Amino acid sequence: MIWIARSFRREHLMQIFAYLKRNKQKYVAFYALEIHPKKAIAEVECLNQMYKLDIWNELKRISEIKYPRLKRIESYSQIPPTHAGRETGTVNYDWTRVEDVKQYMLECLREKVPQFLNVWKSKKHNRFDKVLTLGQVETEYTSN
């Protein structure tokens, strides 16, 4: 879990740590990262002033900042060293399976557009349709 902000209140971080300590069964690594107040924020504010379609080609400006754009303020981990997590390595895709083609497309998107957060949220692929669904927002509807 990564929380990125301009600054943090100590009491908010303490509440997060207390919650995590009460829920030891959850394997979580938490990082509080502060955005560099001068250069990174200035670049983002400059991008915010641009026309929407011009921003895409200018995102590289943030990655060109020479000194650290983010500073780690706090971190907390309750992931046991024996926890393996997800398997990594080379994947052999079966190009005849729709699910594998979708997974390959998703991996390519994640590599090309890492700042697009919806690409990182995915569900099991449906082999009966050709749609690649990204970043679904789950909403609970109630009737009054």
What's the pLDDT tens digit per position in 8-31? Answer: 999 999 999 999 999 988 888 899
What percentage of the chain carries pLDDT values higher than 90? 16
Give the pLDDT confidence score for residue 138 in this predicted structure. 47
Give the pLDDT confidence score for residue 19 in this predicted structure. 93
Give how far Cα 101 sits from Cα of 81, 109, 118, 128, Å: 33, 12, 19, 13
pLDDT digit string (tens) for 48-81? Answer: 999 988 888 888 887 787 777 788 899 988 888 7
Of 11, 14, 1, 8, the closest CA to residue 73 belongs to 8
pLDDT digit string (tens) for 73-116? Answer: 999 888 887 776 665 667 788 888 888 888 888 787 777 766 66
Give the pLDDT confidence score for residue 137 in this predicted structure. 47
Query: In the structure encoding, which two tokens stand for residue 59, read together?
Result: 């995102």
Of 75, 86, 133, the closest CA to residue 106 belongs to 133
pTM of the model: 0.50
Whether 64 and 95 map to the same domain: the answer is no
Whether 57 and 119 map to the same domain: the answer is no
Question: Where residue 140 falls among pLDDT bands split at 50, 70, 90?
Answer: very low
Whether 73 and 102 map to the same domain: the answer is no
Give how far Cα 133 sits from Cα of 22, 48, 102, 124, Å: 35, 27, 9, 10
How many structural domains are present in the chain? Answer: 2
Whether 78 and 95 map to the same domain: the answer is no
Whether 127 and 70 map to the same domain: the answer is no
Whether 19 and 67 map to the same domain: the answer is yes
Find where tokens 């390519």 sit. Answer: 108
